[in-house]
Structure 1
């Protein structure tokens, strides 16, 4: 199946009120796991790769990622997650990504608009879709993706202006999520009324970052109220590496073909639950 842009993937999700999972992968084993579970659940898939992850993997892995995604029986987009600047976005486009995110959320509003609009102009010229961000996602610890100490919630009227002036295909909003795994003294709470107000104000699919470790009921409601892409990174990685630590308790194991399969199964179990929660199971047939 040919790769699709993020915009094409999410247009169907918006029309049918579900969210496409964007699973961050950090190695080829994780890639195989998210592709396998998406095919089993017949769910559309966004393979998300962060700049830190591609720095670890190396750009030479991208032809293999693209080939694996094209062979999938479900629609797949390959998404550049939290792009930092214009030059980085151009590199992602050249590397084969079909969707890019430019994260200008920490910039003043006018600078965010200018940077995002410039990225949109370049990406749309070659058929690549663009996700922008308005408002700030929080952070939970130093291991998570970067975020703000204090969440700045997305203002609906600003969202309207931002979408109109930039031409973005999708908009990541801040309604209370944080990157990473929440510590015991920090309880997540999404502002779902704010989500509904933003959804009623703009006509592009909305994106929720920091989807890991949030209450299922809130995430499920978000997926039914305009959020059509939900990023999951920490939850699947925790499952994968907790299983790996368990497996490696057997000190005689040394071959990846003995170590990695149970780790992939653990990741797949978490990913399957997210696919069901987002309402994405069985939706591949809509494309």
Structure 2
């Protein structure tokens, strides 16, 4: 991740991090990344690895190693040392430790411990300061968004030695209700970008206005986490296919419409993050 995001920061683009929890979503993400020649991050939440199992990672790694574009395998929102060690044993190339709900000193202490372990085996570390909202996603979040304080963030980065920092500037995990219009605090992001020289990460990237997400890339956002938008498109198309064609049962007949629906969203996300064609920079 450190190597991937260094190039993104220098060239003013962001790499999307898509959550994978099934073979078809994995396959569709890699196919789309290769079609658009875009670097990509495959991220797996602890709840997702509980479902798909450790053996699935061998397939993920095979896809990553054979891909024609740069690929990172990342632990999303690891909350415990067990999550971190499991990801390292599964040969992820990046981990996130999320101790953002702890006190500042507890967050620093836990993150430093993860950095010490992960860096010893050349694995990058992402951490979080501030809180991301929750729209009912399985990834969780906070009932109240606490914006990241620039001075605290500067101290946090210096004390922990992390490689990237997830900042809270007004996003939430999951899909927003129809009557809610999310808004990013770009002014705060500009200040954070002045204080911190490592890549910044935007969590809860589904549902935010495209122009704001694109603008955030101008001010230090190098990685954007996207889960709900992809899964929503995929499973909406899948439900329609199963309802309209109740007699089909072959996976190669059931899944293609869902894969195509997800692919449209994936291409759109690569586009707004200025990622398309950037594989040539590596």
Fold-level match, TM-score > 0.5? yes
Aligned-residue CA RMSD in angstroms? 0.7
Deviation at 1:187, TM superposition (A): 2.0
Alpha-carbon distance in 1 for matches of 2:86, 2:241: 37
Task: Give 3-state SS (helix, strand or coil) of 2:265's partner.
Answer: helix
What's the CA shift string for 1:59-104, capped at 9, x where partnerless? 1111111011110000000000000112220111111100000000
* Pairing partner for 1:179 from 164, 173, 179: 173
Residue 209 (structure 2) pairs with residue 215 (structure 1): yes
Give the equivalent residue in structure 2 for 1:205. 199
Task: Report the CA distance between 1:186 and its aligned residue.
Answer: 2.4
Q: Note if 1:134 corresponds to 2:122.
A: no
Between Structure 1 and Structure 2, how many residues are aligned?
A: 281
Which one of the candidate residues 6, 14, 19 is aligned to 1:19? 14
Please name the residue that 1:237 is paired with: 231
Distance in 2 of aligned mates of 1:79 and 1:132:
12
Give the match for residue 152 of structure 1. Answer: 146
1:226 maps onto 2:220 in alignment: yes
1:111 aligns with 2:102: no
Tell me which stretches of 4 or more aligned residues in structure 1 moved more than 3 Å: none
2:256 maps to which residue?
Answer: 261
| Structure 1 position 90 matched with structure 2 position 82 | no
Q: How does 1:45-84 map to 2 (within 5 A)?
A: 45-84=40-79
Per-residue deviation, 1:185: 3.0
The answer for unaligned runs of 5 or more in structure 1 is 1-5
Matching residue within 115, 119, 124 for 1:120? 115
1-structure distance, mates of 2:201, 2:115: 17
Matches of 1:126 and 1:144 in 2, distance apart? 30
**Under a length normalisation based on structure 1, what TM-score does the superposition of the two structures give?**
0.97
Q: Distance in 2 between matches of 1:50 and 1:262?
A: 25
1:177-205 per-residue CA deviation (whole Å, 9 max, x = no partner) reads 00000012322110000001000100100
